[in-house]
Homo-oligomer: A and B are copies of this chain.
């Protein structure tokens, strides 16, 4: 298992695009999504699949990840709760970190978020201009909420600049 400390932001503008060094397209869905536990399947670039179990709440959570056969992922897709979310993740080096910029598609088009993984809750990091409002503690921007409830009302309206 890992203990995951991630902070999440809305993205403003396209300044990150020239800085991205890699990208992957994800399709992901939830098999279970509760207040303190969730089970997600993610298919990466249509080629590989991974099961992710998250436990706990808030900034610091337990995370357990297992690679699974692509065939299993495709069978499980039939039992998804809510929507299958598609997005392209762009990897943007920034200081000693990599910021992951997610550009959503389909029903979530217009939403662009950024995540940064930290060693601990107090760790400092460079905050480039394209990071807008922090939404780490906003349930509407949890991946599972996006899959189950769709786009937050405010999203798509640029803010923070």
| A32 at the B interface (CB under 8 A) | yes
Judge whether B72 and A1 touch: CB under 8 Å: yes
**A68 CA / B1 CA spacing, docked (Å):** 10
How near does chain B come to A144, taking the closest CB pair, in angstroms?
Answer: 13
Interface size of A by CB at 8 A reads 20
| A48 at the B interface (CB under 8 A) | no
User: Which residues 92-151 of A sit at the B interface, judged by CB distance below 8 A?
Assistant: none
How near does chain B come to A54, taking the closest CB pair, in angstroms?
Answer: 10
**A51 CA / B31 CA spacing, docked (Å):** 14
**A31 CA / B32 CA spacing, docked (Å):** 10
| A84 at the B interface (CB under 8 A) | no
Chain B residue nearest to A74 (CB atoms) is B1
* A37 partner, pick from B37, B51, B71, B79, beta carbons under 8 A: B79
> Contacts A1-B72, A75-B1 hold; do A53 and B31 have CB atoms under 8 A apart?
yes
| A18 at the B interface (CB under 8 A) | no
User: Which residues 26-62 of A sit at the B interface, judged by CB distance below 8 A?
Assistant: 31-32, 34, 36-37, 39, 51, 53, 55-56, 62
Given contacts A1-B76, A31-B39, A39-B39, 12 further A-B contacts (CB under 8 A): A1-B75, A31-B55, A32-B37, A36-B79, A37-B79, A51-B51, A51-B53, A55-B76, A55-B79, A62-B79, A64-B72, A64-B76
18 CB < 8 A contacts A-B: A1-B71, A1-B76, A31-B37, A31-B53, A31-B55, A32-B34, A39-B39, A51-B66, A53-B76, A55-B76, A55-B79, A56-B79, A62-B75, A62-B79, A64-B72, A64-B75, A64-B76, A66-B68
